[in-house]
Every structure is written in structure tokens, then in C-alpha cells.
Amino acid sequence: MTALAHRVSPDPDAGLPDLPAVEELDRALRNAAPADIIARALRTVGREHLALVSSFGTESAALLKLTADVDPAIPVIFLDTGWLFEETLAYRDTLIARLGLRDVRSIKPIEETLSREDADRELWFSDPDACCRIRKVEPLNRALAPFRGWINGRKRFQGGARTAIPVVEQDAGRLKFNPFANVSREEIAGIYASADLPPHPLAASGFLSIGCMPCTSRSSPDEDARAGRWRGRPKTECGIHTAKAS
């Protein structure tokens, strides 16, 4: 298949620029430093069309710091599912102030959808994929609608479906940038140390990866960081990286 076949074509009605071939960009950035990948994403997609998606979890401050250094006004989308730890909400506010993030958008599920599909708040137990769909996937699709590209913090060392992620990939009609694809856990710790970034308040309690309360448990040091997510279930991803955003 030619590179042209992988050219990302935005909605013609949106009046947005065409974007370069995904493979070409991935090849160019394969060994680039995370800050250079973020800067290139900004130049490629354009100031008005790039967002970052962050969970404000245990490793999120590193990517937020590098992004804020490039441009603190890049919109940051945060999915406030209605099931988050209070500590995560507080950490979001701490990092907004600390890093000078100027456009953090806390996106909530639609109340009407919650009333109709999860009135008793037990969907996380009976059908976690449906719960993630109404609380994460659909809200993210809405939030990303104005954007042509997005940045996220997945790493290959997280294992599972993340082992082989490229630096740049196509996500429906958008470019998706993974500046930390090649980065090690030690390098992330180094960013925290050199910038004196505060840890997530729950990190010291053994939470190595933090999502929603009912679906997050502590991990032991000999487990993968994400072992505490949906523990005891076959589910390993919420769907925002596996379901194609529209």
C-alpha cells in the first residue's frame, strides 16, 4: 500500500488542511525525543487543531510538563467519568496550577445517557465495556470533534496491546501522536525528578496505574503497572485507544 493511501483526509466540510501520510511522519519521528515529537505535532496539525488527552494519573505529569514547555495553551482533554478518585481531581488542579496549563477541559458523560443506561451505577460490574463506552469513549469522541490530531501518553513498556504502538498513527480522520512510545519507566522518573514534579497522591499507596475507583486496585512491584486495572477480568483497555474515534 502506498503512503498516499494512508494520507489522513479531514472532513472536506471542515475547511481544514490535508495532513501528511502517517507512515512518513512516523518514520521521521521514530527516534525523536518526546519534546520534539510534541513540537512537530503542533507544527503539522496546526495550533487550532491539536489536543492532548490526559488521565492525570501516576505518570501523566511528565507528558503534561513537556507539552506545557512547548505550549501551555494546547487544550488538554480530561475525562471526568463520574467514578474518579477525589485524589485524581485534586491532582488535576495541582498540575494545572503548577504547569500553567491554560486550557484543561474536564469532559463528563451526558447525564441523560447515564440515567438511561446506568441509573443504578452498577454498569461497571455488569458490563464494563458498555460503562467505558458511555463514560469514556463517547465523551472523548465529542471532545475530539474539533481537532485533527491528538497526543496521548501510552508507552510500549506498559505491555499488552501497547507493546508495538508506533510514534504516529492514524485514528479515524486524525493523527494520533504517542511521544512516549519509546520512553522507559526510568526516563519518566527522570522527568519527574529533574522538574521536581509532584507525584499522584495515591502513588505512594501502591497504585501504579490509576483510572476509575471500581476498576482500579493496587499493584505489587513485580506486576505490570497496569495489572491493577480491571483486575480479575479479561479487559485491559477502556476502549479510547482501541475503538476508532469518529
Q: Which is nearer to ligand SF4, 34 or 211 (CB)?
A: 211
Q: Among this protein's residues, is 238 annotated catalytic?
A: yes
Q: Are 107 and 143 in contact (CB under 8 A)?
A: yes
Which CB, 51 or 238, lies closer to ligand SF4?
238
Verify binding: residue 88, ligand SF4, rule CB under 6 A. Answer: no
User: Is 215 a residue that touches ligand SF4 (CB under 6 A)?
Assistant: yes
Please report, as residue ranges, which positions from 192 to 211 form the binding site for ligand SF4 (by CB under 6 A).
211
Q: Which of residues 102-141 bind ligand SF4 (CB under 6 A)?
A: 124, 128, 131-132, 135-136
When asked if residue 53 is in the footprint of ligand SF4 (CB under 6 A), the reply is: no
Of 41 and 84, nearer to ligand SF4 (C-beta) is: 84
Beta strands 104-107 and 168-171, pairing class = unpaired
Tally of CB atoms within 10 A around 180: 26
214 binds ligand SF4 (CB under 6 A): yes
Q: Look-up: residue for cell 479515524?
A: 172
* Residue the block writes with cell 514547555: 69
Q: Is residue 57 a contact point for ligand SF4 (CB under 6 A)?
A: no
Residues 6+ apart with CB under 8 A from 220: 206, 227
Tell me: does residue 238 bind ligand SF4 (CB under 6 A).
Answer: yes
Q: Is 49 exposed, middle or buried (0-12, 13-18, 19+ CB in 10 A)?
A: buried
Q: Which long-range contacts (CB under 8 A, 24 or more apart) does 229-232 make?
A: 230/128
Nearest residue to ligand SF4, scored by beta-carbon proximity: 212
Q: What is the spatial distance between Cα 46 and Cα 16, in angstroms, rounded to a whole number?
A: 10
Q: Does 81 bind ligand SF4 (CB under 6 A)?
A: yes
Q: Point out which residues bind ligand SF4 (CB under 6 A).
A: 81, 83, 124, 128, 131-132, 135-136, 211-212, 214-215, 238
Catalytic positions, written as ranges: 238
